[in-house]
Amino acid sequence: MFPSVDMIRSIRKASVLIAVIAASAAFFAPSVESTDATMYWDCCKPSGSWPGKAPVYNTVATCYKDGKTVVTGAHLNDGGSSGCGGGNEFQCSCQQPWTDAVNPTLGYAFTAKTSSNEADDECACFVQNFAQTSNSKPGKVSTLFYQVINDGGDVTSDGLDILVPGMGVGYMTQGCPAQWGNTSGWGKQYGGLDQNRQGCFNLPKDLQRGCLWRMDEWGNSVTFSGTAQRVRCSKAHIDRTGCQRKDEPANSYQGKWDTSHNGPAPNGYVPNSSVCGIPKSYSRRALRPDRRSDPETRDA
């Protein structure tokens, strides 16, 4: 039996604390403080992929089981379309983190964020600095430029979950086996591979890059330094999700970054289909009025 809408709303998505190894026998994801980031990858259709969640031109793109072919067509938002509920829509493999080509301390990612009103944050972009601690890796990613594509209910207000393959599937255990088959080598349900770099090679080839990013390029600090600042999303984010808000701020990230490839996205930006395979037919949905599948909050 699949989880009810109310159950799904209460858990939203899986969460795993990077620096703390949680008990894998726990039924619900452990609650974590909003001063620390978390990581997860559950393969589910993100909350931002459902229509009516926020003022956007398009919802977040999802992919078929191969993680590459973007889902389009009349049944895109059917009630049972999520791969975590027996459907055929999953997280696209291109929606994993990477490091800026110019600045090795700047990382890009997609996240889930806990908020009192999902409409305020869905598909918005933020920049968050991380504190330097005894566990930090100098010269590695310590600033994260991220786009929110999912909503979380298992961390405290303004908590942040970074989508990173191999860092635990959390509560939603159905998605990754449905998409990729045997996931026994993916580590613990909560905690994933932790810092087992060799374990990244147990993942499908298309997911190994993001897992290795956590091991090799992530600065290892999970504690926020200051408050996240909302900025205009980069072209690179929208190339991978297809989602852009209609109320984007004028200000862009002001640090050192690869603007020649990523750059701030103009209003109504059409994704580069060569990056994540998002077809122009998907982008043209921006010309249609916003539609809601039903009045319920529906999460993958």
Q: Which residues are catalytic, by number?
A: 42, 161
Residue where the block lists tokens 């393959």: 165
State the Cα angle at 42 between 40 and 48, rounded to 5°.
90
How far is 159 from 31, CA to CA, in rounded Å?
10
**How do 125-130 and 37-40 pair as beta strands?**
unpaired
- Nearest-10 Cα torsion for 173, 176, 178, 183: -90
265 dihedral zone (left: phi>0; alpha: psi -120 to 50; beta): beta
The alpha-carbon radius of gyration of the chain (Å, integer) is: 17
Q: Which amino acid is at 129?
A: N
126 dihedral zone (left: phi>0; alpha: psi -120 to 50; beta): beta
Residue where the block lists tokens 């379309």: 81
Residue where the block lists tokens 């997609």: 110
How far is 216 from 50, CA to CA, in rounded Å?
33
Residue from 236, 297, 295, 292 nearest 59 by CA: 292
User: Which tokens hold the place of 2?
Assistant: 């699949």
| Cβ count within 10 A of residue 133 | 13
Contact between 249 and 231 under an 8 Å Cβ cutoff? The reply is: yes
Contact between 19 and 135 under an 8 Å Cβ cutoff? The reply is: yes
Contact between 165 and 211 under an 8 Å Cβ cutoff? The reply is: yes
Q: Which amino acid is at 196?
A: N
